[in-house]
Amino acid sequence: MEIIHTMPLLLFDTEGNFNMMKECFESLGKSSENTVVLYNQGYMENEVLRNKLINYGISPIILGEGQNIGIAQARQLCFSYIWEHYPDVHYISEIHLDMIFPKEWYTPLIEYLNDSDEPIISPGIMTSYGELQPIGRRVPFPLTVPDLLSFLEELPEERIVEGFVHPVIHKAHVLKEIGGYDTRFFKGKQGYEDDSILLGYLYYMGTRTKWRPKCYLKSWVYHATMAQRMMLPDTHIEFVENEKGLFSQYGGYGLKHLAAIHHNPAFIELLEHFLKNE
């Protein structure tokens, strides 16, 4: 086994969610590396969920009992399980339910990491708005899943672009070295967890390198983005909680580094907000 996928599975009792789950896992199940460690965060009992996933072609390892403990907490428990039970696996991916995967989508990404000093790599993604990220192109959205997969399989090119999207593939030993998500700081259910891990990688690589995350456009995946969790109640409260956690963990210099990583001055504005309210 070369790669294990991880997912904090938040499932609602709606037809749309069940269709999303079917499309996601059926597409992933067509790839040869289809072991998924997931944390069950809602609705479906573990045994029912396990049977469905097996029918989709997935080899599931299910943690949790249906409680939404948040993204960082759930993902970190998945990482810890892999580090303990699969210490020899080379790669760990972070995937989401609102994704559809071409067959063997991870293979070019693993090949890139094998030949690179990079700690992580992302594919290009197509969103539900027909946006191709991180290159910023917009295209007509395919009408069916087969059409979508065919379109994604036409996109690959031998190009590296700076940027960060999900899914992302980590070198397992480097992820363990930086510790994954430090849940002592991230007590909100969502928000800024990606930024915390990017700073972990920046410091691992060394600030003198001016490291930034990258996408390898030889692989493309569909990711609706923000398809479910933004509908949860009190989302803004969860984000503010993790915003404080990010500042507590990395301080003002961390926010300055994030502004450079993302080319986004909003992190400088966030720093000024914290300084003003000290």
Residue 232 has pLDDT above 70, yes or no: no
Q: Which domain holds residue 70?
A: 3-276
Per-residue pLDDT band at 200 (split at 50, 70, 90): very high
Residue 1 has pLDDT above 90, yes or no: no
Q: Do 191 and 242 form a contact (C-beta atoms < 8 A)?
A: yes
Report the pLDDT value the prediction gives residue 12, as an integer from 0 to 100: 73
pLDDT in tens, 12-34: 766 777 888 999 999 999 999 99
Q: Do 171 and 160 form a contact (C-beta atoms < 8 A)?
A: no
Range 42-47, long-range pairs (CB < 8 A, 24+ positions): 42/9, 42/10, 42/11, 42/12, 42/66, 42/67, 42/68, 43/11, 43/12, 43/13, 44/11
Number of domains within the chain = 1
135 vs 125: CA distance, rounded Å:
9
58 vs 109: CA distance, rounded Å:
20
Tokens of 20: 């999303």
CATH at residue 229: 3.90.550.10
